[in-house]
Amino acid sequence: MSISTFDCLGPIMIGPSSSHTAGAAKIGLVANKIANNNIKSVIFYLHGSFAKTHKGHGTDKALLGGILGFDEKDKRIRHSFEIAKERNLEFKFIEKDLGDVHPNTVLIEMTSNENTITTIQGTSTGGGAMEINMLNGLNVKFSGNAPTIITVHKDVPGVVAKVTAVLAEKNLNISTMSVLKDESNNTATMIIEVDKIFDNSIKDLLLSKIEAVNKIYLF
């Protein structure tokens, strides 16, 4: 078995913990992008070891830093509380049992300036890696390691083909794709990872060309 330098040293990050700091910052940053950086207030529901050690390991500063748009290498994470107050961002940390989930899990509830609420749940899986496993109450699974497009659309025939056609038009190659259905309201969520960075124009293009698409999240 080969061992890389990364395995020995861990990720480049603001410490002290790859699980409790780097992974947490990545979860917060994905949440920031999902909310399109439109966040008036945020509540972090901390589960398991995140709840027990978030102050000592800096998990609270890392999560808030991610919400502010800082990645795990950004030195401003150390001052995220002060920066959030300067930006008039309201924030709160609440310890909560989230059920049968990984101990390093957080549920983030974000309120926009228009008072819409977006929730995202993520788990820090170790070594600075993380996984998002819930979006607005829907079970999902993606790592955030690749540029990602998430569509919420009516569960009708032809939507997947239309979305992939638009991506082909923009010369975006799909790396992974999954579709999750919510039969309670006849909607589906599609998670697509692509192999290169895209700009926000893809959102307007998908919404204008595909009537069945209701929401799009990009990061």
For residue range 172-190, list pLDDT tens digits in order. 999 999 998 888 889 999 9
* Mean of pLDDT values over 130-157: 90
Q: Is the pLDDT of residue 166 over 60?
A: yes
Read off the pLDDT of each residue in 134-161 and give the average, rounded to a whole number: 91
Task: Please report the pLDDT score of residue 54 as a whole number.
Answer: 63
Domain CATH number, residue 182:
3.30.70.260
Residues 115 and 170 in one domain: no
SS (H, E, C) 69-116: CCCCCCHHHHHHHHHHHHCCCEEEEEECCCCCCCCCEEEEEEECCCCC
Identify the bridge partners of residue 26 per DSSP, sorted by sequence position: none
pLDDT of residue 210: 95
Higher pLDDT, 216 or 3: 216
Looking at the chain, the whole-number percentage of residues with pLDDT higher than 70 is 89
Same domain, 10 and 98: yes
Same domain? For 119 and 153 the reply is no
Overall domain count for the chain: 2
List the CATH number of the domain containing 98.
3.30.1330.90
3-state secondary structure 154-165: ECCCCHHHHHHH
User: What's the domain range around 70?
Assistant: 5-142
Q: What local confidence, expressed as pLDDT, does residue 160 receive?
A: 94
User: Is the C-alpha dihedral spanning 144, 59, 123, 67 positive or negative?
Assistant: negative
**pLDDT score at 128:** 83
Residue 11 CA: distances (Å) to CA of 2, 79, 199: 18, 21, 27
Distance (Å) of CA 175 to CA 82, 87, 129, 203:
39, 37, 19, 19
> CA torsion angle for 53, 47, 70, 146 (degrees, to 10)?
130
pLDDT-derived band at 144, boundaries 50, 70, 90: confident
User: What number is the average pLDDT over the span 116-126?
Assistant: 94
Q: What is the model's pLDDT at position 13?
A: 44
Chain segment 3-37, per-residue pLDDT in tens? 444 443 444 444 445 455 889 999 999 999 999 89
pLDDT at 141: 87
Q: How confident is the model over 56-107, as pLDDT tens digits? A: 568 999 999 999 999 998 999 999 999 999 999 999 999 999 999 999 999 9
Answer yes or no: do 57 and 74 share one domain.
Answer: yes
Q: Identify the domain boundary among 100, 115, 142.
A: 142
